[in-house]
Amino acid sequence: MRLLKPLLLASAAGLLAVSAAQAADLPTKKAPPAAAAPNCYASFWSWLDSTAADCPLSLDGVTVYGTIDVGGGYESAASRFNEDYNNGVSELIAKTSGNARWQLVPNGLSQSNIGVKIKEQVAPNWYVIGDVNTGFDPYSMRLADGPQSLVDNNGISAGPGQTANADSSRAGQWDNTRAYLGLSNSTFGTLTAGRQYSFGNDLANNYDPTGGSYAFSLIGTSATPVGGLGDTELARYNTSVKYLLQYNIFRAGAEYEFGNYSWGNPANGAYQFDLGGDYAGFSVDAIYSHANDAVFLSSLSAAALSETPGYADDLGATIADVDSFALAGKYKTGPFQVFAGYAYDRLTNPTDSYAADEAASGFDSIADIDVPGGKVCTTYSGGACSKYGSNISITAYTIPKVLQTGWVGAKYAVLSNLDVAGGYYVEWQNNYSGGSCSGIVSGSSAESSHCNGNLQAVSGLIDWRPVKRVDLYTGVLYSEVHDGMAVGYTHTNNTAWTSGVRVSF
């Protein structure tokens, strides 16, 4: 017992000493606060190395944003630059494809644009939202205007003598991309009204491995098969109501075009429905679309213009009803993504008959907004626009045209700021000529452009972001056209190499 007591006292003293030593190591005050986030406006370089979400150009709920995309490239069968055309040039094989050349290439990765958007809370969980945006050519500084690119080539025979051109839902308006206003609620969804993307346009951008780029994607450079679901002008509804609802992993949407040609719309009534969802890395969307009397604009021939010196800015048109279906999906695991999609577009003669009295002064269309003269004329007599006839077609699809499109692709994040992507695309059409297409061998040997044929393309893209707002990109798009779809082509394949830089703000 005499030994036990000193041992207990010694142990207690040791424990107290250890406790005192540990207590000396404990902090005597709160830890210093975390360092403040760096000021993204401290310098131009720090701003470039921030994202638009982290460092927007905003004030009181209003944000200015945009993109400038410039580049250049080489094509084995090039279409010459057009200052009004949305894409500037055509990387995809086209009737305008001619000799090989180096040339400036605007908007390779995406359309250069500038816009203003708003998001302002008006009640708990309720926001007023809006967006106005216009696309432009960064070299000519002209607003994107597909119909004007057609006017630029009026009277010139289709082929390499023309500059790049195509019809488009962008027709030189101040809001040629979009302009809408609406309400948003996380529970009840989003309701917007105005000029808006169709669901087909949304699908083409979201499910394409290159993001719907002009220079590296068939469905990006041509909105006809997917973005417009049968008609490029249907990629946007000029006056429309659009509703989107998200519930758990599911989403649904509906869009309705109200008004007609006189409102700047590409059809006399159109609507679309979307159903989709996201789960465990998978994302999928399905769309059904219908349009009455959809417009397909075209340049006028030299013969028509020779009769009408006062109508040089008019255009011809084909009118059709369009019914379409599209399905697309993607899957992401780690740095790897795969994409696939399919679209079915069926074109038939229009619902309306276009009586002679309605057509007497020309056919109103989206071109009224910005094409001088403002009419798609029909037939000309004595130098004046007369009643409807050969320059406006309402019987092109007595036998329905069926255009189908499929694509697959992949994207891989080599580094957090370096992606590689590529895709394979194919369009094909049926024989809606009403006759035999037995003479088809290849190229332009088909009897008619209404014969069955196909267009195929394959692409590869490297996209490096040295800072967060800047993309340096390079890649290639190879395309070839066959049989009925090749009628009128001087060249039937093209290899387009494109490099550029895109800055977002």
Per-residue pLDDT at 278: 98
Helix or strand or coil: residue 173?
Answer: coil
Backbone angles phi, psi at 4, to 5 degrees: -65, -40
Mean pLDDT value across residues 407-434: 97
Strand 57-59 to 62-75 pairing:
antiparallel
> What is the dihedral sign for C-alpha 205, 207, 210, 214?
negative
Per-residue pLDDT at 177: 97
Question: Which pTM was predicted?
Answer: 0.86
Q: Does the pLDDT of residue 27 top 70, yes or no?
A: no
Mean pLDDT value across residues 428-441: 81
Q: What is the pLDDT of residues 387-396, one digit of tens each?
A: 334 577 788 9
Per-residue pLDDT at 356: 39
Residues of 217-231 as b/e, b for ≥16 C-beta within 10 angstroms?
Answer: bbbbbbbbbbbbbbb
Q: Which residue carries 């890649």 as its tokens?
A: 475
Where would I find the H helices in 92-224?
146-151, 199-206, 218-221
Q: What is the pLDDT of residues 237-270, one digit of tens each?
A: 999 999 999 999 999 999 999 988 878 888 989 9
What tokens were used for 269? 């009534």
Q: Does the pLDDT of residue 20 top 70, yes or no?
A: no
Q: What is the pLDDT of residues 83-124, one digit of tens each?
A: 999 999 999 999 999 999 999 999 999 999 999 999 999 999
Domains of the chain in start order, with CATH, are 63-504 (2.40.160.10)
Residue-by-residue DSSP string for 213-263: -TTT-HHHH--TTTTSTT-GGGGEEEEEEEEEEEETTEEEEEEEE-S-GGG
Per-residue pLDDT at 439: 57
Q: How far is CA 426 from CA 236, 367, 482, in A?
A: 23, 30, 11
Of the candidates 78, 127, 82, the residue with the CA atom closest to the CA atom of residue 99: 78
Enumerate residues 6+ apart whose C-beta is below 8 A from 46: 38, 39, 40
- Give the pLDDT band (50/70/90) at residue 497: very high
Residue 300, number of CB atoms within 10 A of its CB: 24
% pLDDT > 70, the chain:
81
Per-residue pLDDT at 318: 87
- Give the pLDDT band (50/70/90) at residue 313: confident
- Give the pLDDT band (50/70/90) at residue 310: low
Q: Does the pLDDT of residue 4 top 60, yes or no?
A: no
Residue 270, number of CB atoms within 10 A of its CB: 25
Whole-number Å distance between alpha carbons of 434 and 222: 27
Helix or strand or coil: residue 414?
Answer: strand
Chain mean pLDDT for the chain: 86
Q: Does the pLDDT of residue 376 top 70, yes or no?
A: no
Whole-number Å distance between alpha carbons of 296 and 302: 19
Q: Does the pLDDT of residue 337 top 80, yes or no?
A: yes
